[in-house]
């Protein structure tokens, strides 16, 4: 099963505008970031630009920063691939590097998306690419879209900022960089063949991509003492004394699987849901309003990144369970060996091994 089974390969569209922009970029390569709304042909343009550069013998890389409709790497990641040949679709390229976001929407993850895009561009240049093609999400509307694109462009500072639009819908995103060096703005019209894809189609594509990533992948045991954790309170504090944990259980009338003190607050994992009245009593007793209690089942099927000692994401996994007594976690992942993993990056989305999205988690 492949993503293109759901018609991920769009009809090839070209126009004098597109051909002119591609010719200009290929003649003097650098970093080319492509922005535009949903279904304007961004990925199609990136594919054509990459293929033209390959034809010209230019070392080329593609950074896929569209975390919701990833072509390179699993959804929820920013992938970088070296374009060593012409392809029909970006999904034909194998990811060389990944940056884990842990979500399929950038809305709550602007910082991660901006930093991850920059890191993958830098990785492409370090790998020898003279042309780096950056595909982006279709989030361009409202203050969130403006912030995401503005700071992503500012941090990366591409030589070419390619704006694809149907009318003038992204002019406000391009205008702030009209006089900023070394950015050159190229405005082109949206593909005539770009098809509007319904939300259901996008969800189905993500499900298929997740399924392809996790289908028949092995399980791995990761000892908690061998790793550190990112993007979670879990594993970042000091263990709570047993008598205080016992007091929490008596107050909440619920078994506490794990508890730790994090800065001025408390992070705990319970066997089941706890009453808000019990939490209020604990806040009074511990003199803090920063008590976070999550159910243990919340971590089942949580998307996680598996990174090495440098913080580089090696692969993506699904957290199945945490044994707090024996201090290990069980993770499904296609990674060949777990031995290099030193960081487990917690995501904010839960996904079944069959690829179905099960919902998002609050920040914790």
Distances (CA, A) of 128 to 25, 61, 124, 195, 222: 17, 9, 7, 35, 34
Q: Which residues pair with 343 in a beta bridge?
A: 228, 307
CA distance 34 to 362: 31
- What pLDDT does residue 195 have? 66
Q: Are residues 192 and 242 in the same domain?
A: no
| 91, 8 contact by CB (below 8 A) | yes
Q: Are residues 240 and 149 in the same domain?
A: no
CA distance 60 to 33: 13
Q: Are residues 37 and 62 in the same domain?
A: yes
Domain boundary among 189, 214, 239: 214
Q: Are residues 157 and 36 in the same domain?
A: yes
Torsion of CA 284, 285, 288, 292, to 10 degrees: -100
Domain boundary among 183, 214, 245: 214
Q: Are residues 189 and 261 in the same domain?
A: no
Residue pLDDT tens, the chain, 364 long: 444 555 554 556 678 999 999 999 999 999 999 999 998 999 999 999 999 999 999 999 999 999 999 999 999 999 999 999 999 999 999 999 999 999 999 999 999 999 999 999 999 999 999 999 999 999 999 999 999 999 999 999 999 999 999 999 999 999 999 999 999 999 999 977 666 778 899 899 999 999 999 999 999 999 999 999 999 999 999 999 999 999 999 999 999 999 999 988 999 999 999 988 999 999 999 999 899 999 999 999 999 999 999 999 999 999 999 999 999 999 999 999 999 999 999 999 999 999 999 999 987 7
When divided into structural domains, the chain yields a total of 2
88: CATH: 3.40.50.300
Q: Are residues 92 and 115 in the same domain?
A: yes
- What pLDDT does residue 221 have? 98
Distances (CA, A) of 217 to 303, 315, 352: 14, 12, 13
Give 55-95 as a DSSP string. Answer: HTT--EEEEE--TTS-SSSSTTEEEEEEE-S--SSGGGSPP
Phi-psi region of 191 (alpha: psi -120 to 50; beta: other; left: phi over 0): beta
Q: Are residues 54 and 177 in the same domain?
A: yes
- What pLDDT does residue 12 have? 60
The residue with tokens 């993503």 is 3
For residue 257, give its domain range.
218-364
Distances (CA, A) of 146 to 46, 106, 158, 190: 22, 12, 17, 19
Q: Are residues 204 and 236 in the same domain?
A: no
Q: Are residues 106 and 209 in the same domain?
A: yes
CA distance 303 to 231: 12
Q: Are residues 240 and 256 in the same domain?
A: yes
Question: Of 258, 263, 240, which Cα lies nearest the Cα of 327?
Answer: 258
Q: Are residues 261 and 119 in the same domain?
A: no
CA distance 99 to 68: 14
- What pLDDT does residue 142 have? 96
Distances (CA, A) of 12 to 7, 57, 88, 118, 257: 13, 22, 9, 29, 55
Question: Of 41, 3, 49, 43, which Cα lies nearest the Cα of 25?
Answer: 49
- What pLDDT does residue 194 have? 67
Domain boundary among 170, 190, 214: 214
- What pLDDT does residue 197 have? 79
Q: Are residues 134 and 24 in the same domain?
A: yes
CA distance 125 to 83: 13
């Amino acid at each position: 099963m492949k993503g293109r089974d759901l018609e991920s390969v769009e009809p090839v569209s070209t126009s004098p505008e597109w051909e002119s922009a591609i010719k200009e970029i290929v003649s003097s390569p650098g970093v080319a970031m492509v922005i535009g709304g949903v279904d304007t042909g961004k990925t199609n343009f990136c594919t054509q630009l990459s293929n033209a550069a390959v034809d010209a013998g230019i070392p080329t890389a593609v950074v896929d920063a569209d975390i919701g409709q990833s072509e390179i790497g699993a959804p929820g990641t920013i992938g970088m691939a070296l374009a060593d040949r012409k392809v029909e679709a970006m999904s034909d390229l194998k990811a060389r590097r990944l940056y884990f976001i842990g979500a399929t929407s950038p809305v709550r993850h602007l910082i991660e998306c901006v930093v991850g895009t920059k890191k993958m561009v830098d990785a492409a240049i370090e790998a020898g690419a003279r042309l780096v093609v950056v595909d982006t999400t279709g989030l361009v509307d409202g203050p969130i879209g403006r912030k995401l694109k503005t700071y992503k462009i500012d941090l990366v500072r591409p030589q070419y900022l390619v704006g694809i639009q149907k009318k003038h819908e992204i002019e406000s995103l391009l205008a702030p960089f009209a006089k900023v060096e070394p950015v050159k703005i190229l405005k082109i019209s949206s593909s005539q063949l770009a098809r509007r894809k319904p939300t259901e189609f996008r969800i189905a594509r993500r499900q298929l991509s997740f399924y392809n990533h996790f289908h028949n992948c092995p399980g791995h045991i990761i000892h908690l003492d061998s790793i550190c954790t990112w993007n979670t309170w879990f594993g970042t504090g000091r263990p709570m004394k047993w008598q205080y944990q016992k007091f929490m259980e008596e107050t909440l009338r619920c078994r506490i699987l794990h508890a730790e003190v994090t800065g001025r607050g408390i992070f705990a994992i319970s066997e089941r849901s706890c009453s808000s009245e019990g939490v209020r009593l604990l806040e009074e007793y511990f003199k803090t309003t920063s008590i976070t209690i999550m159910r243990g089942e919340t971590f089942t099927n949580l998307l996680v990144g598996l990174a090495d000692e440098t913080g580089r994401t090696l692969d993506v996994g699904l957290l199945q369970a945490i044994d707090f007594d024996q201090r290990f976690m069980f993770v499904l992942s296609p990674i060949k060996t777990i031995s290099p993993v030193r960081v487990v990056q917690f995501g904010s989305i839960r996904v079944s091994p069959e690829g179905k999205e099960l919902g998002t988690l609050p920040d914790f």
